[in-house]
A and B are shown apart, each in its own frame.
Chain A
């Protein structure tokens, strides 16, 4: 089968690599160059924290998150380049005035995820795990199974691997139309029509661009963008080793430590498809939250401020939609890295099913 994967973000890269390894002829198309700077995955925080997310997502996402955590190490071991992956737990802290939110989280876990361990930490226990957090907080929660991955390192490693395994990767390829038929799928790339046995569209919010204006109802009509903003800070005075989540009445704020004193601080969540740079309000909220966790952030350098759009369906659930010769993978929302290994498995299954039908 001659397969086109459209969109070289996280899902596109994983899909292209996996299908190449299964012996398919894979062509990867993306409007960007190979750095994926326009992708949601490039902007992401790379947190693998299913319980941390659990208050605002349905139980199946949490389950997929835990399954994915077991799949990442194996997946990473097949890459030539080393990717920073950590599973040493995450810490949750809250300020005195937000104790209600802390309590709500504890109750939520006890009620819905009693099988998972969550440990309450006093100041001393907090000190033994993350000494610098104990300067500002007298208590916290430890979620021992949570982890994180360096999202950009992974995108680069996947790029390297796809090149190594000689996947045909067409950059600066604008896909303006996808026409799905019973026997093949037609792709309009930079105004040229190409035919494939199967097209897998992994473009996230970008997938809306090739909806035919006269089309009949499409499942992607329901796709929306949720704006997120985050900072990359270089903070040599801060020594945190695990992802830290700050209970906050308005946002789910996290600080994700990456190698070499780089900290990702995010993320806002705004129902908007506005891609313009971060607003002052968001900047103040994110930075004051980070500063309230660790005063060492005062002298940090702001390396990047990022705003990007997360693709989401109205139920905030990911979907792998199969119709004739087109598979649409979308709606991973704020959970791309958290659940992509499981979603990839679903894509692999869908392809296998289609392939068998062709053999028959």
Chain B
């Protein structure tokens, strides 16, 4: 039932972002309603040298405290390993956590991760003692390389950030799950609706990280609850063992006494 990330046991398999909500208060209510215990936070644009985002960071940290959870700073907005490294050091100092959601963007329009810089950055950060949660594309070999570098958690995308397009390539995602049975796999980005999240959990993914799908809903708090439910459904279904589809109909009620006369 619980999810373990870098040795920390969590009661929820949902990881949630803090951007795009109508107000900080609604963000807070949505996070609490989601049950999530891992809350991401960005610092790149808040002039972290001057700690100009202090107030919103404190607000988010207070929410995290309330959930008995963990803060997951991210490197959103970074494009090179070098840039990431500086920001990561700042983040560790500011938030007293070695957890880092590693984002290295390679393309401006669809915000696709740059796999080459990502591997470089992961290597540097792991050597510097960070617990890296890399956001990556759904490429099996890339995920394997990240795992080999020492990432216990790997976070392939469902589809580009904020698109809400859901699982673009279920085959790839399933392959990653099958081939990396011991990695903690969290589907990150592109989730649009609770059924997307449920689908990934049914595949055996360990968790879901999302933001827009909740923040941009008409009622973010209600949507947060809907996601919590869908993750539970998917996870329970995976553990329960899903039946295999069959070609021919099998009645679930014995039909020995049903006459067939109406099928001419």
Q: Which residues of A contact B (CB under 8 A)?
A: 56-58, 97, 100, 104, 108, 111-112, 224-225, 227, 249, 270-274, 276, 279, 281, 312, 314-317
Contacts and interface: CB of A to CB of B under 8 A. Distances in A.
A315 B50 contact: no
A314 B24 contact: yes
B53 interface: yes
Contacts of A97: 109
Contacts of B24: 224, 314-316
Q: B25, B45, B162: which has the most chain A beta carbons within 10 Å?
A: B45
Given A56-B22, A249-B162, A315-B23, A274 B47 contact: yes
Contact of A273 (B22, B55, B77, B109): B55
Contacts of A316: 22-25
B218 interface: yes
A271 B56 contact: yes
22 contacts: A56-B22, A57-B22, A100-B163, A100-B164, A108-B218, A111-B218, A224-B55, A224-B56, A271-B53, A271-B55, A272-B45, A272-B47, A273-B52, A274-B50, A274-B52, A279-B45, A281-B45, A281-B77, A314-B23, A316-B22, A316-B25, A317-B23
A108 B55 CA distance: 31
Interface string B192-223: 00000000000000000000000010100000
Contacts of B59: 224, 314
Give the size range of B's interface with the partner: 20 to 34
A249 B55 CA distance: 25
Contacts of A315: 23-26
Nearest to B22: A56
A270 B22 contact: no
A274 B49 CA distance: 11
Nearest to A317: B23
Given A100-B163, A271-B46, 13 more contacts: A58-B23, A108-B218, A224-B55, A225-B55, A271-B53, A271-B56, A272-B46, A272-B53, A272-B56, A274-B50, A314-B59, A315-B26, A316-B22
A118 B191 CA distance: 30
Nearest to A101: B216
B25 A314 contact: yes
Contacts of A279: 45
* Pairs A-B, 6 closest by C-beta atoms: A274-B52, A316-B23, A271-B56, A272-B52, A315-B25, A314-B24
A270 B46 contact: yes
A272 B51 CA distance: 8
Interface string B51-64: 01111100100000
Contacts, number: 57
Nearest to B110: A97
A6 to B, nearest CB: 22
A276 B218 contact: no
Given A271-B56, A314-B23, A314-B59, A276 B46 contact: no
Contacts of B45: 270, 272, 279, 281
Interface string B159-176: 000111000000000000
Nearest to A107: B218
A58 B218 contact: no
A104 B46 contact: no
A129 B52 CA distance: 42
A56 to B, nearest CB: 5
Q: B52, B59, B77: which has the most chain A beta carbons within 10 Å?
A: B52
A97 B28 CA distance: 31
Contacts of A273: 52, 54-55
Q: A58, A274, A281: which has the most chain B beta carbons within 10 Å?
A: A274
Contacts of B22: 56-58, 316
A164 to B, nearest CB: 39
B169 to A, nearest CB: 20
A104 B217 CA distance: 10
Contacts of B26: 315
A57 B21 CA distance: 10
A215 B53 CA distance: 23
Contacts of A224: 24, 55-56, 59
A14 to B, nearest CB: 25
A310 to B, nearest CB: 13
A104 B216 CA distance: 9
Contacts of B109: 97
B227 to A, nearest CB: 18
Contacts of A112: 218
Contacts of A270: 45-46
Given A111-B218, A225-B55, A249-B162, A274 B23 contact: no
Interface in B36-89: 45-47, 50, 52-56, 59, 77
Q: A225, A272, A276, A314: which has the most chain B beta carbons within 10 Å?
A: A272
Contacts of B53: 271-272
Contacts of A57: 22
B46 A274 contact: yes
A127 B22 CA distance: 33
A224 B52 CA distance: 11
A108 B50 CA distance: 38
A3 B54 CA distance: 35
A108 B219 CA distance: 11
Contacts of B56: 224, 271-272
A281 B162 CA distance: 20
Nearest to B52: A274
Contacts of B25: 314-316
A52 B139 CA distance: 40
A256 B25 CA distance: 30
Contacts of B164: 100
A175 B103 CA distance: 44
